[in-house]
Amino acid sequence: MRILVHTEGAERWCEALRQRLNDESLEIFVDDGERLGDILVVWAPPAELFERHVGHDVKVILNLGAGVDSLLQNPALPNDVPVIKLRDAGMASHMLDYVRYGLLHFRRDFDRYAGQQRAGEWAPHRVVRAAHYPVIVLGLGAIGAQIAEGLAADGYPVHGFSRSAHTLAGVTCHHEQGDEGRTLQEVLRDKSLGLKAVINLLPNTEATRDVLNAEVFAALAEDAVLINPGRGSSVVEADLVAALDAGTLRGALLDVFQHEPLAADSPLWQQSRVIITPHAAAPTPMSGAADQLVDNIQRVQRGETLTGVSREHGY
């Protein structure tokens, strides 16, 4: 069986797989633009890779990340091959660190103190405890659920929103489906929740694109903040800039954007209320990811049927 790897730093991934599998019946190699693979291990591959495999019996496509939007949008992606994504693989702990920093930055007024430092102003602010800082996590998949439960354990009042119903320890879960469901906009407009921070971990799907827009920003409390380490497609960036300029939103910590790298002329770079990081919130840890890849490769070897991501739902 042949395992083709297409990604930046592909040889490192090949070596990690060789060490774990130690199976002479497997040929593990970096995509050279010519050879075919029975299992494709990829990140953002070109259409040509799939076009080359037309008529070849590809068993599974293993995606080197939790986000599959770019893969599902590939026009040459075969319809009959399951796509398996990484589920956490250690990314959740990195993501939780990132979100914790964002919440602490705004809850303890470090954004305001930075402005005061530039102005030479000495003015202590009242400390707001986590218990008085309600937050909402949008998207309760494998990573989002861990983030929500981790923040609840930190003492924050945590709300969660997802398409289908979830039950998580210490988290008030809201969902869209069913008779008692509410839309995301309805939940975010609910003043009784007292939300101080919106943490976006929604997947990139037709249903989630542009959902964080002017209407939502206007409905949030004036001192609310946005933390987005999830998907840039969820945010209407022009509306976000307008809300920040108007003071409708207190600030934002942004790791992902509609187009990456973020354009040099984007007004977000010059927005004093924003912290920008370069899609670095939760890099994929090779060790945990390679372990997941090996598990799926061995399942293929055993002839097991793999259930991939939903093409309909996009995750």
* Residue 311, domain member (yes or no): no
The one catalytic residue among 231, 250, 299, 313: 231
Q: Are residues 72 and 158 in the same domain?
A: no
* Residue 309, domain member (yes or no): no
Per-residue confidence band for 272, with pLDDT thresholds at 50, 70 and 90: very high
Tell the burial category of 120 from Cβ atoms under 10 Å away from its Cβ (0-12, 13-18, 19+). exposed
124 alpha-carbon distance from chain centroid? 35
* Residue 221, domain member (yes or no): yes
> Could you tell me the CA-to-CA distances from 34 to 29, 30, 31, 40, 41 in Å, in that order?
11, 10, 7, 13, 15
Give the pLDDT mean for 129-152.
Answer: 97
Residue 68 structural domain: 2-88+284-301
Q: Which two tokens stand for residue 306?
A: 């793999």
Q: Are residues 56 and 96 in the same domain?
A: no
Q: Indicate if the pLDDT at residue 33 is higher than 90.
A: yes
Q: At 175, which helix (H) or strand (E)?
A: strand 171-175
d(CA 188, CA 195): 8
231 as an active site residue: the answer is yes
d(CA 140, CA 166): 8
The one catalytic residue among 20, 100, 166, 279: 279
227-237 pLDDT, tens digit per residue, is 999 999 999 99
* Residue 315, domain member (yes or no): no
User: What pLDDT is recorded for position 87?
Assistant: 86
Per-residue confidence band for 58, with pLDDT thresholds at 50, 70 and 90: very high
Q: Are residues 156 and 252 in the same domain?
A: yes
Q: Are residues 37 and 98 in the same domain?
A: no
Domain count, the chain: 2
The percent of residues above 70 in pLDDT, for the chain, comes to 100
234-264 pLDDT, tens digit per residue, is 999 999 999 999 999 999 999 999 999 999 9
132 as an active site residue: the answer is no
* Residue 295, domain member (yes or no): yes
Per-residue confidence band for 47, with pLDDT thresholds at 50, 70 and 90: very high
Q: Are residues 207 and 271 in the same domain?
A: yes
Q: Are residues 120 and 231 in the same domain?
A: yes
Q: Are residues 136 and 70 in the same domain?
A: no
CATH number, domain containing residue 118:
3.40.50.720
Q: Are residues 40 and 102 in the same domain?
A: no
Give the residue ranges of DSSP H helices in the chain: 10-21, 47-52, 69-72, 91-107, 110-119, 142-153, 184-188, 214-219, 237-246, 286-301
Q: Which two tokens stand for residue 196?
A: 């101080």
Q: Are residues 138 and 258 in the same domain?
A: yes
Q: Are residues 115 and 61 in the same domain?
A: no
Q: For residue 177, give the 3-state DSSP assignment.
A: coil
Measured over the CA atoms of residue 301, residue 307, residue 311 and residue 315, the dihedral's sign is: negative
* Residue 207, domain member (yes or no): yes
Q: Indicate if the pLDDT at residue 151 is higher than 90.
A: yes
Across the chain, mean pLDDT equals: 95
Q: Are residues 153 and 297 in the same domain?
A: no
Q: Are residues 63 and 170 in the same domain?
A: no
